[in-house]
């Protein structure tokens, strides 16, 4: 892939291999909560205490997990190849902790909180930010409540202009650990294909949109991605 422009999109599967719970369990619940109760603007309006405490638990849990070999392999590929845009659907910081830089988080970040008044986002991971109590901003004359800096159902994913521009112009589009259920992320492979990019999938099992890829590699990303990265770096 020497000299090629590469876009990598990662999903919940890569974080699951580090012990992060995937977005939906087989019973349709998200850590014993209905999605409607914790991941919509209406849920925040109706019961902000429950939503806040749910995300605070996730923010605390994020510090208990570590990057796995797939995260490290992607970071190595970025360093060695150079022309790589990394987009993730994940809200954890495992890519950054694994050595990746300039990660585009299209669904937000757990490590940041957003002021409800100014909509400014700040990294808030000190002990005082991780308690069950609400956190207030420091950007307003009268401090406002902060909300999780997460894209909930019904909200527009972040950085979509930059994402589509990168996918439109890439030569190779690689997806790692994504189920192909959540749009618009699941439709990016079709955009890449229409623009003539080579499309590659690395996933535990074939997802719903597997037929959209030129190449499909099934298995744990942490087990198969390091060898694939070495192969890609050796390609002329």
Q: Is the dihedral of CA 96, 99, 200, 83 positive or negative?
A: positive
CA distance 232 to 236: 9
Residue with tokens 């022309």: 83
Strand partners, 236: none
Helix boundaries (H) for the chain: 12-16, 35-38, 41-46, 48-62, 69-81, 94-97, 160-168, 188-194, 221-234
Tokens (6 digits) for 94: 């495992």
- Measured at the alpha carbon of residue 125, what is the angle toward residues 119 and 129, in degrees to the nearest 5? 75
Asked if residues 96 and 78 have their Cβ atoms less than 8 Å apart, the reply is: no
Annotated active-site residue in 107, 129, 181, 217: 107
Active site residue 107: yes
Query: How many other C-beta atoms can be found within 10 angstroms of the C-beta atom of residue 75?
Result: 22
| Residues recognised as catalytic | 107
């Amino acid at each position: 892939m020497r000299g090629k422009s590469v876009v990598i999109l990662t999903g919940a599967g890569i974080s699951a291999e580090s012990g992060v719970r995937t977005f939906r369990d087989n019973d349709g619940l998200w850590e014993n909560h209905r999605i409607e109760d914790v991941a919509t603007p209406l849920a925040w309006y109706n019961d902000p205490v429950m939503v806040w405490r749910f995300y605070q638990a996730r923010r605390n849990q994020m510090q208990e997990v570590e990057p796995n070999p797939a995260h490290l392999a992607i970071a190595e590929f970025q360093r060695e190849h150079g022309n790589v845009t990394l987009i993730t659907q994940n809200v954890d910081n495992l890519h950054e902790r694994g050595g990746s830089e300039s990660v585009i988080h299209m669904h937000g970040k757990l490590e940041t909180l957003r002021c409800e008044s100014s909509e400014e986002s700040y990294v808030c991971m000190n002990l005082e930010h991780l308690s069950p109590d609400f956190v207030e901003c420091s950007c307003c004359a009268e401090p406002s409540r902060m909300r999780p800096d997460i894209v909930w159902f019904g909200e527009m994913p972040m950085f979509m202009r930059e994402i589509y521009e990168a996918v439109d112009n890439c030569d190779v589009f690689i997806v790692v650990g994504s189920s192909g259920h959540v749009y618009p992320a699941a439709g990016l492979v079709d955009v890449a294909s229409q623009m003539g990019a080579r499309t590659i999938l690395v996933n535990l099992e074939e997802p719903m949109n597997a037929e959209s890829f030129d190449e499909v590699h099934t298995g744990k990303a942490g087990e198969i991605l390091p060898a694939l990265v070495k192969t890609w770096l050796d390609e002329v």
